[in-house]
């Protein structure tokens, strides 16, 4: 999220835009220079839809007609998805049948969330996480929503009694007091096979262990953290290779308001990101006793920089090799995103963005990274990544190949929705055709009354974004979705979960204010489904960092298993595949320690459990 632009910054923007013809580096340098000179970092570049020369040269391949042709293709596919009257490939068939229906109230997943400080702080405006977890070992999976405490309630746990039938059990399960919660992470902390909860928030990070379906506060096992620091998304994985599960928590800003001025102009002072300094992220290594130690400075000094980080990841960023750490920063004018990697098994994690990319977008500067999801977008067998962003910056789509990742947002098609303000992002195969679609939670951080003064793109309430993957291009089909995607709102976190165990992934979005959005997948499937549950060895029962490959009659599908994705939450822990055709498939799992398990001739439309040898 950016600070509002000053009038002088707005006046300089046309000069910055004309510099685009020189190179992305020049654009970035000009924007940074203006930022430091003016201390106001609004970085919209007028004419943002027009590709600059450097990007066009990068994207145009030997078999391409150039980027402009690909952009036209992306726009055409989005137009096809807009409605049956447009004559698209789905006209009269798929487009007339919305993919989702909203079932929040009908399923019991309904509450009305109110802000705790009347939206006068960043904590209020940016909170709203949701985690998928298994509380009692009985399907369907359960849901935990984070919220800052108010007179009408705070965080909430909903346990499934059956398909699309949920009951609130927050206090009964021991989660009545989880602190000033911003985010959550569901993972198996102690290797006993059930899901525990990490709850980052304002001035604290809380840990709750699941004991027979009830949660016991074990925060004493964590080291103390900054009393006024705002902690956001978290990720779990075996960072040090000792077989248990470590944690990476995003440190956002120091929310100490004692030294803020009384009047900051267009915005309440506590909502102005430029007035709140960034804080270090926290890398927590689990010890044999079950306690955690803060090992950030020793193991990952580049993660300890005082930056406004919103999302983090522990993943094989290129799909193979040991796990990397990924740091997704807000305020991209000043802070790039950074992948961190070990040069040797004992070396500290260090910034390798120059080697593998992922730091900057197609325009050559950092994105305001609000959400993150990972998967093979273009079907080439490599793991790719998407990062959602502030309005007027397209969602970055990093396609990875031969060890390097490049943002191809313009050719993939996400520039079509760049005027929306995007938060949680989730890649998933909603129509079971073998490729990954994309859904995003939306809603501006500024209020309608503030948008004009801050040069923001409104309105504040916005409907979510849904993109259909058509041959590696993400075509917007939100306008075809009827009521489920037509109602504007304020949503932040997003989670993928199968609410009714029918093999089709559903979507839940956590509210900043108001009610959650619960989207039940009713799309007639184009193919079949397969769901792979992974059971790792020892304390890493969740097998965080595993890579799963499914080989079917016409190709292969690759999925990376990460714990902590989207924004402020985590997804269904089972690895989900849409499979074209109905023939049996072969499954291969690359486990976190580098060993491989294969299983041949596996029937589709079923759950499969694979155990690390």
pLDDT digits (tens, 9 = 90+) for 498-528: 999 999 999 999 999 999 999 999 999 999 9
Q: What is the pLDDT averaged over residues 234-244?
A: 93
- The answer to whether residue 74 scores a pLDDT higher than 80 is no
Measure the CA–CA gap between 426 and 59, rounded to whole angstroms: 25
CB within 8 A of 560, min separation 6: which ones? 315, 316, 319, 374, 375, 383, 546, 547, 548
Instruction: Classify burial at 171, counting beta carbons within 10 Å of its beta carbon; exposed 0-12, middle 13-18, buried 19 or more.
Output: exposed
Neighbours of 36 (CB within 10 A): 11
Spatial neighbors of 581 by CB under 8 A, at least 6 apart, are 527, 528, 552, 553, 554
Q: What confidence score (pLDDT) does residue 70 get?
A: 42
The alpha carbons of the chain give a radius of gyration, in whole angstroms, of: 22
Structure token pair of residue 426? 């989730």
Strand, helix or coil at 80?
helix
Instruction: Report the sign of the C-alpha dihedral through residues 237, 240, 246, 250, in that order.
Output: negative
Collapsing DSSP to helix, strand or coil, 554 comes out as coil
CA dihedral 235, 240, 245, 250 (to 10 degrees): -20
End-to-end CA gap in the chain: 45
d(CA 329, CA 116): 25
Q: Answer yes or no: is pLDDT of 24 > 70.
A: no
Mean pLDDT of all residues belonging to the chain: 86
Q: 196 to each of 186, 238, 242, 388, 516, how far by Cα in Å? A: 6, 16, 20, 28, 22
The residue ranking higher by pLDDT, 35 or 420, is 420
Residue 244 has pLDDT above 50, yes or no: yes
Cα–Cα distance, 291 to 285 (Å, whole number): 8
3-state secondary structure of 312: strand
Nearest to 577 by CA among 593, 596, 558: 558
> CA–CA separation, 107 vs 316, rounded Å?
36
DSSP 321: S
**Dihedral sign of CA atoms 555, 467, 162, 147 in order:** positive
Structure confidence at residue 13 (pLDDT): 36
Would you say 453 and 426 are in contact if contact means Cβ atoms under 8 Å apart?
no
Q: What's the confidence (pLDDT) of residue 96?
A: 65
For residue 2, what pLDDT is reported? Answer: 53
Whether the link from the prior residue into 378 is cis, omega within 30° of 0, is no
Least confident interval from 125-134, 292-301, 591-600: 591-600
Share of the chain above pLDDT 70, in %: 84
CA distances from 383 to 386, 427, 428, 460, 559 (A): 11, 12, 13, 33, 7
For residue 160, list its beta bridge partners: 166
How far CA 585 is from CA of 485, 528, 555, 581, in Å, comes to 34, 11, 10, 10
Angle, CA 380 vertex, CA 378 and CA 381 arms, to 5°: 120
- Work out the number of other CB atoms within 10 angstroms of the CB of residue 323: 24
Task: Evaluate if residue 85 carries a pLDDT over 90.
Answer: no
What is the pLDDT, as a whole number, of residue 480?
75
- For the chain, percent of residues with pLDDT exceeding 90: 72
Task: Please report which confidence band the pLDDT of residue 17 belongs to, taking 50, 70 and 90 as the band edges.
Answer: very low
∠ at Cα 288 (287, 291), nearest 5°?
A: 45
pLDDT digits (tens, 9 = 90+) for 301-350: 999 999 999 999 999 888 777 889 999 999 998 999 999 999 998 999 99
Say what the pLDDT of residue 465 is: 96
Q: Residue 380's pLDDT is what?
A: 94
Q: Which residues pair with 167 in a beta bridge?
A: 159
If phi over 0 gives left and psi between -120 and 50 gives alpha, with beta otherwise, what is residue 174?
left
Confidence of residue 254 (pLDDT cuts 50, 70, 90): very high
Q: Are 282 and 296 in contact (CB under 8 A)?
A: yes
Instruction: Let me know: does 558 contact 463? Beta carbons within 8 Å.
Output: no
Q: How far apart are CA 21 and CA 14, in angstroms?
A: 12
3-class DSSP assignment, residue 450: helix
Per DSSP, the three-state class of 86 is: helix
**Does residue 605 surpass a pLDDT of 90?**
yes
Cα gap 465→99, rounded to integer Å: 13
- DSSP states along 452-494: TTTT--S-SSB--EEEEEETTEEEE-GGGSGGGGTS-B-EEEE
Q: What is the pLDDT of residue 1?
A: 62
Residue 596: CB atoms within 10 A of its CB come to 11
Give per-residue pLDDT as tens, 187-220: 999 999 999 999 999 999 999 999 999 999 999 9
Least confident stretch, 115-119, 282-286, 327-331, 440-444: 115-119
What local confidence, expressed as pLDDT, does residue 567 receive?
A: 98
């Amino acid at each position: 999220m950016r600070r509002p632009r000053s009038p002088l910054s707005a006046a300089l923007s046309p000069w910055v835009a004309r510099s685009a013809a020189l190179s992305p580096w020049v654009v970035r340098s000009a924007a940074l220079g203006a930022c430091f000179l003016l201390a106001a970092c609004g970085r919209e570049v007028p004419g943002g839809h027009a590709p600059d020369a450097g990007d066009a040269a990068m994207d145009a391949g030997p078999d391409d007609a150039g980027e402009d042709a690909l952009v036209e293709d992306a726009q055409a596919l989005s137009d096809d998805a807009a409605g049956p009257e447009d004559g698209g490939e789905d006209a009269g068939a798929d487009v007339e049948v919305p993919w989702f229906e909203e079932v929040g109230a009908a399923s019991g997943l309904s509450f009305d969330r109110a802000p705790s400080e009347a939206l006068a702080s960043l904590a209020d405006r940016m909170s709203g996480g949701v985690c998928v977890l298994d509380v009692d070992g009985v399907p369907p999976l359960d849901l935990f929503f984070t919220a800052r405490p108010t007179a009408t309630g705070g965080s909430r746990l909903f346990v499934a009694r059956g398909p699309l039938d949920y009951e609130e059990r927050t206090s009964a399960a021991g989660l009545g007091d989880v602190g000033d919660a911003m985010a959550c992470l569901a993972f198996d902390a102690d290797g006993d096979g059930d899901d525990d909860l990490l709850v980052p928030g304002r001035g604290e990070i809380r840990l709750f262990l699941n004991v027979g379906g009830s949660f016991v506060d074990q925060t004493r096992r964590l080291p103390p953290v900054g009393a006024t620091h705002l902690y956001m998304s978290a990720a779990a994985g075996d960072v040090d290779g000792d077989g248990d599960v470590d944690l990476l928590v995003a440190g956002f800003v120091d929310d100490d308001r004692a030294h803020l001025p009384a009047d900051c102009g267009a915005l309440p002072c506590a909502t102005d990101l430029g007035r709140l300094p960034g804080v270090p992220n926290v890398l927590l290594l689990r010890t044999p006793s079950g306690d955690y130690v803060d090992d950030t400075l020793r193991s990952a000094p580049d993660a300890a920089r005082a930056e406004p980080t919103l999302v983090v990841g522990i993943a094989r960023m290129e799909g193979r090799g040991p796990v990397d750490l990924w740091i997704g920063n807000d305020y991209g004018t000043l802070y790039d995103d950074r992948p961190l990697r070990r040069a040797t098994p004992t070396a500290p994690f260090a910034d390798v963005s120059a080697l593998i990319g992922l730091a900057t977008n197609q325009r050559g500067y950092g994105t305001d990274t609000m959400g993150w999801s990972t998967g093979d977008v273009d079907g080439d067998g490599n793991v790719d990544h998407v990062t959602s962003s502030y309005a007027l910056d397209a969602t970055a789509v990093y396609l990875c190949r031969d060890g390097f990742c490049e943002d191809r947002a313009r050719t993939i098609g996400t520039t079509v929705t760049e005027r929306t303000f995007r938060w949680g992002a989730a890649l998933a195969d909603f129509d079971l055709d073998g490729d990954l679609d994309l859904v995003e939670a939306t809603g501006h951080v500024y209020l309608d009354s503030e948008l004009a003064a801050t040069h923001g793109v409104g309105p504040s309430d916005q409907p979510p974004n849904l993109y259909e993957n058509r041959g590696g291009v993400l075509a917007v089909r939100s306008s075809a979705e009827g009521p489920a995607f037509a109602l504007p709102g304020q949503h932040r976190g997003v989670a993928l979960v199968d609410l009714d165990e029918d093999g089709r992934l559903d979507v839940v979005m956590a509210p900043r204010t108001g009610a959650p959005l619960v989207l039940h997948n009713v799309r007639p499937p184009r193919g079949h489904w397969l769901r792979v549950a992974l059971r790792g060895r020892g304390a890493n029962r969740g097998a965080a960092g595993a890579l799963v490959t499914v080989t079917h009659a016409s190709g292969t599908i690759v999925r990376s298993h990460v714990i902590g994705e989207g924004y402020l939450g985590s997804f269904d822990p089972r690895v989900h595949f849409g499979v074209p055709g109905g023939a049996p498939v072969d499954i291969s799992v690359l486990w976190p320690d580098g060993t491989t398990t294969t299983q041949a001739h596996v029937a589709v439309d079923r759950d499969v459990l694979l155990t690390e040898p």
